[in-house]
Copies of this chain bind each other. A is one copy, B any other.
Amino acid sequence: MADPSKCPPLTRPSVIAAHALIKPHIHQTPVLTNTTLSTLASTPQSTAALEGTPWAGQEPAKPVIRLWFKCENLQKVGAFKIRGAFHALTRLVEEEGWEKGGGRTRGVVTHSSGNHAQALSLAARTMGIPATIVMPRISTPSKIAATQSYGARVIFSGSTSVEREAVVADVIQDTGATLVPPYDHPDIILGQGTLGLEMQAQVAQLLASSEKEKKSLDAIITPCGGGGMLSGTALSCEGTGIWVFGAEPEFEGADDCKRGLEAGKRIERVSTLTIADGLRTPVGEIPWTIIHDRRLVRAMYSVTEEQIKNALKLVLERMKVVVEPSAVVGLATALYNEDFRWMVQNEAGEKGWDLGIVFSGGNVSVEALGKMFEPTS
């Protein structure tokens, strides 16, 4: 992949250029609304619900929140990751000397046990580039099968990042393949940011047809793992007046970006088994420059495992769409995090906010859901 210093600048116009490149390859996923969930977000939590939380005994906030859901769970491969993968590869193919230098034979490589594996696999096949995916030997068979079904060669490694990177290094040495990282690269970040552009345009169109006074979103909240999607979305909103927030699980320190912002220093290592398994990685260096150094993300919020499960249950049972646990941390924040809810109340007052929620993906097996909601009695 391109030397980051030769990539387009990390700006909104570059996200627009990325969108033009990948548009033929991706779905414009729908933006949905749901009356039940917007009503719930606009209803104060009960004081009982706040017991045992940091807000116990405090008056619950009464924000007015109209929710708009960008459904990347209905994206190709079931997740937004396909955007960055297609952008990285279309840019790679256009690179001077890449084709001539045998790039198409050498192929691409990455290590991932999640959505990036399937995304790179499908994008590479579509563009006629061989792909090798390094997956931990202990990955679930369904994820291995899904990655292979998109045409990639899967090879196995141990589970630690050191072991995985060693196998990737071997592949690069053997084949000359180009590494396509999951988030810490400008081309990936610009690709993921395209979902923010689409969402802005789709909500504006829906608001226009509803003849409401409002013309656009007030804010967007996205999940944050490696930070590619959050920082890309922040770039897509630069200069629009739309505020961008990030959400993380707090379990076992998964809220590294939030803690890093508080400490003024990026946290480089995280070891968590949060059920939001797409968000177990620390935020990457380049996303950090956008989130922290350039202050393009307004604030970070975190939610508990229980709050993630409650939000997931609501989406499955009330919206009737399937999302993975990582996808609902933004919704959980809007519903349950009193810091966020007071902030909305104070900023928006009675007029309230039109808040965009990114459902980042929908790749969860029924068995995993079964385990999460196993009857306890």
Contacts and interface: CB of A to CB of B under 8 A. Distances in A.
Contacts of A48: none
Given A313-B366, A366-B313, A320 B74 contact: yes
Contacts of A319: 322
B369 A366 contact: yes
Nearest to A364: B317
Contacts of A372: 366, 370
A63 to B, nearest CB: 23
A371 interface: yes
Contact of A365 (B73, B317, B371): B317
Nearest to A30: B30
Contact of A371 (B78, B313, B316, B370): B370
A364 B322 CA distance: 13
Interface of A is mostly: helix
Contacts of A213: none
A277 B321 CA distance: 21
A320 B78 contact: yes
Nearest to A313: B366
Contact of A321 (B313, B317, B322, B371): B322
A149 to B, nearest CB: 10
A140 to B, nearest CB: 11
Interface string A316-339: 110111110000000000000000
Contacts of A74: 320
B321 A320 contact: yes
Interface in A319-377: 319-323, 362, 364-367, 369-375
Contact of A317 (B320, B322, B371, B374): B322
A112 to B, nearest CB: 19
Nearest to A359: B320
Contacts of A320: 73-74, 78, 321-323, 362
A45 to B, nearest CB: 18
Given A320-B321, A322-B316, A369 B369 contact: yes
Contacts of A364: 317
A364 B373 CA distance: 13
Contacts of A316: 322, 366, 369
A312 B316 CA distance: 14
Nearest to A78: B320
Given A312-B366, A317-B322, A317-B364, 5 more contacts: A317-B366, A366-B373, A369-B369, A369-B370, A370-B374
Interface of A: 73-74, 78, 312-313, 316-317, 319-323, 362, 364-367, 369-375
24 contacts: A78-B320, A312-B366, A313-B366, A316-B366, A317-B322, A317-B366, A320-B321, A320-B322, A320-B362, A321-B322, A366-B372, A366-B373, A367-B373, A367-B374, A367-B375, A369-B369, A369-B370, A369-B373, A370-B370, A370-B372, A370-B373, A370-B374, A370-B375, A371-B375
